[in-house]
């Protein structure tokens, strides 16, 4: 039973992470400009947030979900502002040579920033509830079963980002400095658009 739920959780986590949003864009950009580990850290942060929302849905934590949903306006507004600010910073970032640039700090900060930005969409809880229902995973799960399910969500979500960064890393050394600068600009614009969309969605 637990193995089955773990597998279902992996499938759900992977499927939920596949749509390319701001975290996917950040993962691609970090992988191209800084390498595999910075990209994977972004993915781990997003997967951690997915696990949190999956936990709220799987364990039936209505107090947490009701609180988050009731404050969704301010949560999404703050998240949108941070996305726009991050997008502007990314757009203006100077390209660095991937052959000589070896980031040695900032990974922890990137992880928590990724967790924070992913958590700014509390409506994700409803997505997990709907998907869990589609898989026949109602509210009758015991603690052990629910734990196996949400661990699967974490693994599945991270597996998607691992796959994404593994594909993207193949192109890293093929980009020159001009190409890397365009990566920053395009990623910055896309993240700004995601931030604006997040704000517009609550108006």
CB 149 within 8 A of CB 5: yes
Rounded to whole angstroms, the Cα distance separating 45 from 37 reads: 12
- Residues 6+ away with beta carbon under 8 Å from 132: 12, 57, 58, 138, 149
CB 50 within 8 A of CB 17: yes
Question: For the chain, what are the domain ranges?
Answer: 2-200
| Terminal C-alpha separation, the chain | 44
pLDDT at 1: 64
pLDDT at 129: 78
Nearest CA-CA partner of 184 in 174, 173, 192, 196: 192
pLDDT at 84: 92
- Residues 6+ away with beta carbon under 8 Å from 17: 24, 46, 47, 50, 156, 157, 160, 161
How many residues are recorded in the chain?
203
pTM of the predicted structure, to 2 decimals: 0.84
Compute mean pLDDT per 10 residues along the chain, 203 residues long, and list them.
Answer: 85 88 90 89 94 86 76 87 90 73 70 92 80 72 84 95 92 80 89 89 76
């Amino acid at each position: 039973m637990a193995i089955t739920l773990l597998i279902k959780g992996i499938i759900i986590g992977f499927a939920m992470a596949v749509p390319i949003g701001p975290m996917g864009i950040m993962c691609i950009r970090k992988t191209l400009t800084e390498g595999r580990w910075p990209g994977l850290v972004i993915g781990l942060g997003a997967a951690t947030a997915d696990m949190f929302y999956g936990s709220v849905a799987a364990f039936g934590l209505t107090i947490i979900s009701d609180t988050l949903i009731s404050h969704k306006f301010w949560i999404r507004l703050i998240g949108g502002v941070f996305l726009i600010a991050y997008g502007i910073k990314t757009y203006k970032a100077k390209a660095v040579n991937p052959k000589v640039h070896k980031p040695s700090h900032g990974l922890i900060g990137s992880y928590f920033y990724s967790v924070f930005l992913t958590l700014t969409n509390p409506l994700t809880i409803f997505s997990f509830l709907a998907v869990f229902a589609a898989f026949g995973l109602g509210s009758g799960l015991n603690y052990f079963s629910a734990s196996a399910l949400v661990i699967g969500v974490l693994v599945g979500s991270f597996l998607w980002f691992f796959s994404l960064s593994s594909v993207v890393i193949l192109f890293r050394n093929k980009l020159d400095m001009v190409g890397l600068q365009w990566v920053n600009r395009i990623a910055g614009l896309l993240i700004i658009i995601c931030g604006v969309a997040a704000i517009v969605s609550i108006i």
